[in-house]
């Protein structure tokens, strides 16, 4: 599995700068989309991107990635009129929430974190997706209540759902992304089927979120679970990203079943949508991981068997070479001893003393 510090030789500072731009774009978009709803953004995918990059990176590069994203977070708050002190406080809370999630997952699972087995996926979902956002939500709610006199628990709920659901929806696709697996998907025999299923998920989401009947909303989970059973973890995570992006964009335009619920606020609209998407993604990815783990185990066993066969062949070759060397050594020793014997015989012919001749013989 490739690490997040990709094999392409891009300097770490340049990668950190690119990550900061992506983080800034995500933070600005989240603030812009939900700034009319209250003091805390109801969606926040930027932290999920940073979390995934850190988990796939060498821990020695965490400080530069985190520092660049912290600067981007601070800039986003300042651009929307926040004071330096409050913006710095929110930035600190954001970074602590992300770092706590990374440290918890790294403590529970050995890197690389790729989510390709049940233990890693469950640890990631529970620690980074559910527990770590509690740390950020607690600090963010306390800061919002002090700075804006906002309701602590109202802010806590919005913050926790926004960050937890973003981690469950956005981060998995980035964690299991792999150039090798993408090539395998493109070259696979069932590529057409997988592309069709991905397209079907996109089209179905667009159609379902273009009408307001809530019961139709429950057709999306079976589509993603079907994708999990047929397409595997990576494609399911990508399909979930597309589904989420379409659902969020149409809900922003006041289209779809959730936007049509009467009497709910903008924040509640986004929170309900994220809860729906997050739980759907969690179930779908869990199915994909559960089905993929035996295949990964079988592949690992097959690779180990090939390795053992290769080692056995090398061992047999080494044994044959050793036998050849031993025969050559014996032959050379025999020849040398024969030379010694011949020299002694020659010398004994020139000895006239009977007793000395017997010694030579």
Give me the domain span that covers residue 150. Answer: 1-177
Considering its fold, how many domains does the chain have in total?
A: 1
Does 310 map to a domain? no
Residue 294 has pLDDT above 70, yes or no: no
pLDDT band at 343; cut points 50, 70, 90: confident
Closest CA to 82 of 35, 22, 42, 46: 35
Does 103 map to a domain? yes
Does 158 map to a domain? yes
What six digits make up the tokens of 64? 């530069």
Structural contact between residues 12 and 5, judged by C-beta atoms closer than 8 angstroms: yes
Does 7 map to a domain? yes
Does 272 map to a domain? no
C-alpha angle 175/33/93, rounded to 5°? 60
Q: What ranges in the chain are assigned the alpha helix state H?
A: 12-34, 46-55, 62-79, 84-108, 118-123, 132-148, 152-175, 179-187, 191-208, 220-252, 266-349, 354-360
**Start-to-end CA span in the chain (Å):** 73
pLDDT band at 302; cut points 50, 70, 90: low
Give me the sign of the Cα torsion angle 9, 47, 128, 279. Answer: negative
Highest mean pLDDT, choosing among 134-148, 210-224, 284-298, 337-351: 134-148
User: Higher model confidence: residue 255 or residue 14?
Assistant: 14
Residue 338 has pLDDT above 70, yes or no: yes
Does 277 map to a domain? no
Does 92 map to a domain? yes
What is the rounded distance in angstroms from the CA atom of residue 49 to the CA atom of residue 44? 10
Q: Write the secondary structure of 107-158 as one string of H (helix), E (strand) and C (coil).
A: HHCCCCCCCCCHHHHHHHHHHHHHHHHHHHHHHHHHHHHHHHCCCHHHHHHH
270-292 tens-digit pLDDT? 888 888 999 999 999 999 888 87
pTM: 0.76
Residue 5 has pLDDT above 70, yes or no: no
321-334 tens-digit pLDDT? 888 898 888 888 88
What is the rounded distance in angstroms from the CA atom of residue 133 to the CA atom of residue 46? 13
Q: How far is CA 107 from the centre of its chain?
A: 15
Angle separating helix axes 191-208 and 220-252, nearest 10 degrees: 50
Does 343 map to a domain? no
């Amino acid at each position: 599995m490739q690490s997040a510090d990709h094999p392409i030789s891009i300097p770490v500072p340049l990668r950190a700068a690119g990550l900061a731009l992506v983080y800034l774009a995500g933070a600005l978009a989240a603030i812009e989309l939900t700034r009319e709803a209250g003091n805390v953004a109801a969606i926040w995918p930027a932290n999920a991107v940073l979390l995934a990059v850190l988990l796939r990176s060498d821990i020695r590069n965490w400080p530069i990635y985190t520092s660049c994203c912290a600067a981007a977070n601070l800039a986003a708050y300042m651009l929307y009129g926040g004071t330096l002190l409050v913006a710095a406080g929110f930035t600190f809370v954001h970074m602590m929430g992300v770092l706590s999630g990374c440290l918890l997952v790294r403590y529970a699972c050995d890197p690389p974190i790729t989510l390709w087995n049940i233990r890693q996926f469950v640890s990631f979902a529970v620690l980074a997706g559910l527990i770590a956002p509690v740390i950020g939500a607690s600090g963010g709610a306390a800061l919002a209540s002090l700075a804006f006199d906002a309701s602590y628990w109202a802010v806590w709920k919005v913050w926790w759902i926004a960050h937890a659901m973003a981690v469950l929806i956005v981060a998995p696709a980035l964690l299991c992304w792999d150039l090798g697996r993408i090539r395998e998907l493109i070259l696979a025999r069932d590529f057409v089927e997988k592309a069709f299923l991905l397209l079907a998920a996109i089209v179905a989401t667009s159609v379902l979120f273009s009408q307001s009947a809530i019961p139709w909303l429950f057709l999306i989970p079976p589509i993603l679970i079907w994708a999990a059973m047929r397409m595997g973890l990576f494609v399911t995570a990508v399909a979930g990203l597309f589904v989420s992006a379409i659902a969020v964009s149409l809900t922003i335009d006041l289209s779809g079943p959730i936007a049509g619920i009467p009497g709910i606020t903008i924040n509640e609209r986004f929170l309900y949508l994220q809860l729906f998407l997050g739980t759907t993604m969690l179930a779908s990815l869990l199915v994909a991981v559960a089905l993929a783990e035996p295949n990964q185990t079988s592949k690992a066993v097959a690779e180990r068997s090939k390795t053992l066969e290769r080692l056995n062949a090398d061992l047999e070759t080494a044994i044959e070479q050793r036998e050849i060397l031993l025969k050559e050594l014996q032959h050379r020793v025999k020849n040398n001893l024969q030379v010694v014997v011949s020299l002694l015989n020659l010398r004994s012919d020139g000895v006239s003393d009977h007793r000395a001749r017997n010694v030579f013989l």
